[in-house]
Structure 1
């Protein structure tokens, strides 16, 4: 089984950036954008499209890169709409049984 602690660590960084915004932060820029949640959702759409294109091609590293971008931006969107990532993990665990 792989170590999924990176998801928890990343979620904690996202939450910390929103609670203690540094002067320059991509996370804060996306989640406090004038478009509101729409900015984070646009990024999920953009990254989904980029992943789909990568998945149709032969470049394995690009598929991995775009999948990571998609997951990261999905996590931002979850934060932006007040869904806790641990609840998503719990739902996946329920589906596993």
Structure 2
């Protein structure tokens, strides 16, 4: 997992740099210039593709799912960088929820009766 975490950290650093510098010809720049609406549209699109790929049962479907999850994660990272959110912010929120039932967490936020 540590190798995986390193890849995510490197990618996030690249995304953050592109968000800060907005280099011409960068896909990240194009997304950021479109704001939350453009980035959000890509996140919604990729989330739908994750669900579709998850329904594919063979090995090709598994590979497709991995590809789509990577796309979803990348676009989520662009949104995080655009809004100034770091992995440590997300990790802190996950730590806060650790050991708490998902249903209990929703109840605390008023989402489940």
Q: Same fold (TM over 0.5)?
A: yes
Counterpart in the other structure of 2:109: none
In the alignment, does 2:1 pair up with 1:9?
Answer: no
For structure 1, the 5+ residue unaligned runs are none
Counterpart in the other structure of 1:49: 48
Q: CA RMSD in A?
A: 1.5
For structure 2, the 5+ residue unaligned runs are 100-113
* Rounded Cα–Cα distance in structure 1 between residues aligned with 2:36 and 2:94: 24
Counterpart in the other structure of 2:24: 23
TM-score normalized with structure 2 length: 0.74
Q: Which has the larger radius of gyration?
A: 2
Structure number with greater CO (CA < 8 Å, separation at least 6) is: 1
Counterpart in the other structure of 1:39: 38
Aligned residues: 94
Shift of 1:22: 2.4
TM-score normalized with structure 1 length: 0.85
